[in-house]
Chain A
Amino acid sequence: MSEHERMNLNDNDPLRTDIDDEILIGRLVDHEASGEDQDRFERAADMRPDLWRALALRQRDMMILAGQVEIATAGAERIELPDGKDAAGLILPRRLTWTLALSGWAAVLIVALTWATIVMVGGARNGGVGEVSGQGDTVVPAQSLETADPAKLLDQYMANAPWNVREQDPSVQTFELNAEGGYLWIMRRFDEELYLGPVEAQKLLQLQAEGVKLPYDPIELLKLLGLPAVRPEQPGERPN
């Protein structure tokens, strides 16, 4: 420990005598320990066997916490930088926010999907799970993208989707200004609320197997529900 660190310790600080042990344990937990560190720990634990328990508890805490942080930050992987195009032909990066609500043993999953913008043509219903593109019944009548009015398509989607779609208040963000004017970035956000149970979660797996790009891995969803998470076989695949 540096002199600076020691000076920060309060004389009455209960950690004062333990901080070196905690740092050593931390290095082991974080795989930052040298061979010498490991030897030092084992010598210390020979005299104080409770250090083994402390090590095990710290490892477990970090494993659990890392899992929670992984879930909490997973959406970051889907957020891209804006590229500055105007909104007319732009499909903005979409965020996916999952809210998992468990009521006792219940496995009803509330999913809130937030879209920055939606352009949908030929979306299909499949037990209520929507697709961005696909065949079958359409939420929005198929139209040519060149002639489609995005605003009308969006209105049709919001009116016909089998689940709740609401638009939040749009927010205006000045993106880039120059002498002649500039690009104005308008954020429109939509909440889509799907109720999914285990049956629907399995359907997501099937959709994924059929090539539909989903914003979330159904396997992770099934794991959260505590259900068997096995991908359906692809055509032509041999089972494992």
Chain B
Amino acid sequence: MSGHDRPELELIERARAGDRDAQQRVWQAHRRWVAAIVLAHRPRSVEVDDLMQDVALKIVSKFSTLRDAAAFKPWLRQIVINICRGSARGLKPTLRLATAEREEGERPDSTRVGQPEADQASGPSRVDDQEAAHRLLDQAMTLPSEYREPLLLRCVRAMSYQQISEILDLPVTTIETRLARARRMLRDEVGDEVLAEGMP
């Protein structure tokens, strides 16, 4: 199962041979779905961007180990998964502030403004929608990985079943079934709440 057209295969071959420009172009063409794989497999406390940096570092040195250009996508996917698993084993503390409160003794921040007056009519609804959307993603992240991965890949700029099957190295029919199950599970978990607003 290849799915690469001739120009893409040639580009991957050049990348494999050490052509930096080709490597960069290959990366740029594939990094979006790589980020979806990271999202599907990362430890919750590790940022997608952090792991993407690690992936970028890793594949530069790994390109020469790619045996078959036609197997580039599953090869890259496996690297990503290995990095995600490795990050789970060696979690490092990260500096993150998740609240608007500042620690005592810090310099006053001239950029900080008070909470602006909200549009009382639309503010809460907008926040509710955003919270519901976050919940949906959170719920998707609890699905088994064999369902989570194709679902998130499908969300990446509408990847086709064929493209997803190439990455996961699975038949298209399996992808269809797993997507169907994933959506059904998701809907069963979320229920007919805010997401179904406005529907009969």
Spell out A's residues near B (CB within 8 Å). Answer: 1-2, 4-5, 15, 18-19, 22-23, 25-27, 29-32, 53, 56-58, 60-62, 64-70, 72-73, 75-77, 79-84, 93, 95-97, 99, 101-108, 110, 112, 114, 116, 127-129, 162-164, 166, 168-169, 173, 175-176, 185, 187, 191, 193-200, 226
Closest 6 interchain pairs by CB?
Answer: A128-B111, A22-B180, A73-B35, A76-B35, A197-B113, A105-B118
* B122 and A77 within 8 A (CB): no
- Cβ of A26: which chain B residues have Cβ within 8 Å of it? 176, 179-180, 183
* B183 and A61 within 8 A (CB): yes
Spell out B's residues near A (CB within 8 Å). Answer: 20, 23-24, 27-28, 31-32, 34-36, 38-39, 47-50, 52-53, 56-57, 59-61, 92, 94-100, 106-107, 109-116, 118-120, 122-124, 126-127, 130, 132-134, 136-137, 140, 151-152, 154-158, 160-161, 171, 173-174, 176-177, 179-181, 183-184, 186-187, 190, 192, 195-196, 199-200
Could you tell me the distance between the alpha carbons of A80 and B113 in the complex, rounded to whole angstroms? 34
* A64 and B130 within 8 A (CB): no
- Cβ of B192: which chain A residues have Cβ within 8 Å of it? 57
- Cβ of B119: which chain A residues have Cβ within 8 Å of it? 226
* A69 and B36 within 8 A (CB): yes
Could you tell me the distance between the alpha carbons of A15 and B72 in the complex, rounded to whole angstroms? 34
Q: Closest chain A residue to B184 by CB distance?
A: A22
Could you tell me the distance between the alpha carbons of A162 and B181 in the complex, rounded to whole angstroms? 50
* A82 and B124 within 8 A (CB): no
Q: Is the interface of A mostly helix, strand, loop or mixed?
A: mixed
Could you tell me the distance between the alpha carbons of A95 and B54 in the complex, rounded to whole angstroms? 12
* B196 and A99 within 8 A (CB): no
- Cβ of A66: which chain B residues have Cβ within 8 Å of it? 155, 158
Report the number of A-B residue pairs with Cβ-Cβ less than 8 Å: 227
Closest chain-B Cβ to A117's Cβ sits at a distance in Å of 12
Q: Quick one: which of A77, A81, A128, A176 contacts B59, CB cutoff 8 A?
A: A81
- Cβ of A75: which chain B residues have Cβ within 8 Å of it? 35, 48-49, 52
Q: Closest chain B residue to A177 by CB distance?
A: B61
- Cβ of B61: which chain A residues have Cβ within 8 Å of it? 175-176
Q: Closest chain B residue to A203 by CB distance?
A: B111
Could you tell me the distance between the alpha carbons of A38 and B127 in the complex, rounded to whole angstroms? 36
Q: Quick one: which of B32, B124, B180, B196 contacts A76, CB cutoff 8 A?
A: B32
Closest chain-A Cβ to B82's Cβ sits at a distance in Å of 16
Given contacts A26-B179, A82-B56, 4 further A-B contacts (CB under 8 A): A53-B199, A62-B155, A64-B132, A198-B116
